[in-house]
Amino acid sequence: MYRAPLRELRFVLEELLGTGALAGCPAYADYSDELGASILEEAARFAESVLDPLNRPGDREGAHWSPDGVRTAEGFRDAYRQFAAGGWPQLGADPRFGGQHVPQALSNAVQEILASANLAFKLCPMLTHGAVHALAQCASEAQQQLYLPKMVSGEWTGTMVLTEPQAGSDLAQIRTRAVPEGDHYRLFGQKIFITWGEHDFTENTIHMVLARIDGAPPGVKGISLFIVPKVLVGPDGSLGERNEVRCLSIEHKLGIHASPTCVMEYGRGKGAIGYLVGEPNHGLEYMFVMMNTARLAVGVEGYAVGERAFQQAAEYARTRLQGKSPLATGHAPSPIVEHPDVRRMLLTMKSCTEASRALALYAGSQLDLGAHHPDEAVRRAALERGELLIPIVKGWCTETGNETAAIGVQVHGGMGFVEETGAAQYVRDVRITTIYEGTTGIQSNDLFGRKLARDRGAAMAALLADMRRELQAISTTEAAVVQTRDAAARAVTLLEQATGSLLQSMAANPARGFAVSVPYLKLCGVVIGGWLLAKSAALAAAGLGGADRAFYQAKIRTAHFYAKQVLPRALGLAQVVEEGADSVLETSAELL
């Protein structure tokens, strides 16, 4: 049974990040810790009572395809109606269209709760939110007024439609055609891997489709973005006839069975009617607005499933009696949580999840400042940092979520390998998060080839300087916190040196940097997570005298474990970044 980690989420939002950081942002003038806490509590109530009970049955039943459409698993449609009635699609959306403006960091926290409870369900509103964000940023005023109110209310959903059978992640190979016809276009093409492309939740779905206008330049420079409604919408917002949009089939997948992954056909006869967003041939630029929103959300999903796996593993370890622990004094079998190696596994799961959570919410807070702080210099620096962190959140938090879910199976032993315990579902479900919105390799290429390259590492240097300064400012007599602080400081030095090595590769031979970009991304995640946990431990040490003593003690011990058993990974990763490129580049494809 899932229980939202409300105290942990509030600690990160209120104590580690601090609402005061948003005090200078007029957009959040009405936001408070109390409001944030009430939203989290309501999200927890909905997730625990409605979504979590559907998670395992939805996995067993899955979604059902027929020529008439897709029927979702039992209970999912009603759950969505409750979700929309509760106003959850409005959270984080523009108030001009009926949304409730809240900080991105809080939205991330709510997304974690939903993803932990039921990842398959959560993917539908996540994609709608991304489509809403893209339309709010890039569409015309008329398009916004026509589509956004009903998408924000949850009456309609949205999708992201990029991938084609022959193209995969190489969007330059997109073949879907768009033929001009009056004030709209006719689209012809097939798309694959369209999450929630067809379902029975709502009467309309707004597809955000990448296509190539006839005569457009080749490659990514010739891609445009189109609004393609499942059901055509009249000028007054009323629904008309069905568009030429069909779901040809749904995929049979490793996990997230209740989430329909669709093969979509646009235009079998006259063509699917679509409406151009923005300027022709700027589609990839517009779609990246949606993709960045989704990448951050998927990073949250990765560690959120890890949180759920940890909760189940910890409960199993407390109740499973097996063997005698070397720590025990009697002769009776011990709960396996008393065995040192099981405790090590649980602490690995817990500490990596807490580090991932801190990183993802911190990235959201930087995007908040980057969008709304009145000081242009602060706004620009925060936006650059937030954008720098997005591929790290997406790549590292999902890789960590996979590791955590796998450890959860190991804690269960043989019982983890059978479906009855539920531990295996988390491994199956979380696996897609390292692939969604670009694999870990694509994220690391973005981090190295774009984010570091665009400013020659200036944003990373500023982050490293802040990390070092804040670690040096930690002053405490608590031995575990001192050790955690010092370990984090050593790791910052390793990341700084590895970044310098990577920047040299960028100038001399970029291929060397790409050969070690994934280890570099993981190094960033491990070290930034260590910095944030060291800060958390220092805050916890200051709160030991209060009513939450047990919570703060746990924070200190978890951070200390991370410093002793997770942060040492930084040494190996840094060595790979500095010395590992040749082992890749000097091995020809023929030798594989």
- Chain segment 22-42, per-residue pLDDT in tens: 877 888 988 999 999 999 999
The domain that holds 138 is classified in CATH as 1.10.540.10
Is residue 247 within 8 A of residue 272, CB to CB? The reply is no
Please check the confidence at residue 329 and state whether its pLDDT lies above 80.
Answer: no
The pLDDT score that the predictor gives to residue 547 is 86
Which of 138-147, 244-253, 288-297, 418-427 is the least confident region?
288-297
Question: What is the distance of C-alpha 10 from the center of its chain?
Answer: 19
- Residues 6+ away with beta carbon under 8 Å from 171: 162, 210, 220, 223, 284
Judge if 210 and 256 occupy the same domain.
Answer: yes
* Dihedral in degrees, nearest 10, Cα atoms 145, 150, 154, 160: -60
The two structure tokens encoding residue 322: 């097996």
pTM: 0.96
- Render pLDDT for 305-323 as a digit per residue (tens, 0 to 9): 999 999 999 999 999 998 8
pLDDT of 584 higher than 90: yes
Can you give the residue range of the structural domain that contains 125?
Answer: 6-152
Q: What's the pLDDT score for residue 591?
A: 93
Nearest of 504, 518, 287, 569 to residue 391 by alpha carbon: 518
Dihedral pair phi/psi, residue 417, rounded to 5°: -90, -5
Cβ neighbour number for residue 169 with a 10 Å cutoff: 13
Kindly report, residue by residue over 146-174, the tens digit of the pLDDT.
999 999 999 999 999 999 999 878 888 99
**Whole-number CA gyration radius for the chain:** 24
Within 13 Å of residue 117, how many CA atoms lie on the same side as its CB? 25
Q: Are 551 and 514 in contact (CB under 8 A)?
A: no
Residue with tokens 């009513």: 547
**Residues catalogued as catalytic:** 437
Residue 126 lies in a domain: yes
Element holding 81 (H helix, E strand): helix 76-85
Beta carbons within 8 Å of 533's beta carbon, 6+ residues apart: 351, 354, 355, 358, 484, 488, 558, 559, 562, 563
Domain-located, residue 313 = no
Helix, strand, or coil (residue 229): strand
For 57, 308, 315, 326, 354, the CA distances from 412, given in Å and listed in that order, are 21, 14, 10, 20, 21
Residue 532 amino acid letter:
L
13 with 146, same domain: the answer is: yes
Query: Measuring CA to CA, how many Å separate 73 from each of 26, 58, 76, 305, 469?
Result: 43, 6, 6, 20, 51
User: Is residue 498 in some structural domain?
Assistant: yes
Nearest to 214 by CA among 188, 246, 232: 188
- What distance in Å separates the CA atoms of residue 87 and residue 204, rounded to the nearest whole number? 18
Task: Say if residue 460 is in the same domain as residue 567.
Answer: yes
CA distance 410 to 41: 32
Domain membership of residue 387 (yes or no) is no
Amino acid found at 337: V
CATH number of domain containing 215: 2.40.110.20
Predicted pLDDT at 24: 79
Residues facing residue 188 across a β-bridge: 177
Q: Is residue 414 part of a domain?
A: no
Domain stops at, among 107, 128, 152:
152
Let me know how long the chain is: 592
The answer to whether residue 592 is domain-embedded is no
Domain membership of residue 300 (yes or no) is no
Q: Give the residue with greater pLDDT, 173 vs 524.
A: 524
Residue 46 and residue 162 in one domain: no
Residue 330 burial (CB < 10 Å; 0-12/13-18/19+)?
exposed
Same domain, 48 and 185: no
Residue 209 region, left (φ>0) first, then alpha (ψ -120 to 50), else beta? beta
Nearest in space to 281 (alpha carbons), one of 183, 171, 189:
171
- Same domain for 160 and 147? no
Residues 128 and 161 in one domain: no
Residues 24 and 146 both lie in one domain? yes
DSSP string, 411-443: HHGGGGGSGGGSHHHHHHHHGGGGTTTS-HHHH
Q: Which one of 104, 121, 152 terminates a domain?
A: 152
Q: What pLDDT, in 10s, does the model give residues 554-563? A: 999 999 999 9
Please check whether residue 279 is in contact with residue 225, taking contact to mean a CB–CB distance below 8 angstroms: no
pLDDT at res. 23? 78
pLDDT, residue 327, reads 77
Q: Please give the Cα distance from 502 to 489 (Å, whole number).
A: 20
Residue matched to tokens 């600690």 = 11
Which helix H or strand E contains 189, and what residues bound it?
A: strand 184-195
Do 80 and 124 share a domain, yes or no?
yes
- Say how far apart CA 437 and CA 470 lie, in whole Å: 33
Say if residue 167 is in the same domain as residue 271: yes
Confidence of residue 325 (pLDDT cuts 50, 70, 90): confident
168 Cβ contact list (under 8 Å, min separation 6): none
Model confidence band, residue 231 (pLDDT cutoffs 50, 70, 90) = very high
Q: Are residues 11 and 146 located together in one domain of the fold?
A: yes
One-letter identity of residue 410: Q
Number of domains in the chain: 3
First to last CA, the chain: 45
| Rounded distance between C-alpha atoms, residue 416 and residue 445, angstroms | 35
pLDDT at 29: 87
What is the Cα–Cα distance from 129 to 154, expressed in whole angstroms?
10
**Which residue, 93, 33, 22, is CA-closest to 374?**
22
Domain boundary among 134, 152, 170: 152
Residue 77 lies in a domain: yes
Residue 73, C-beta contacts closer than 8 angstroms, at least 6 positions apart: 54, 57, 58, 61, 62, 63, 257, 258
- Report the sign of the C-alpha dihedral through residues 87, 92, 93, 99, in that order: positive
Are residues 12 and 147 located together in one domain of the fold? yes
CB 427 within 8 A of CB 405: yes
Predicted confidence at residue 168, as pLDDT, reads 79
Q: Is the pLDDT of residue 20 over 90?
A: no
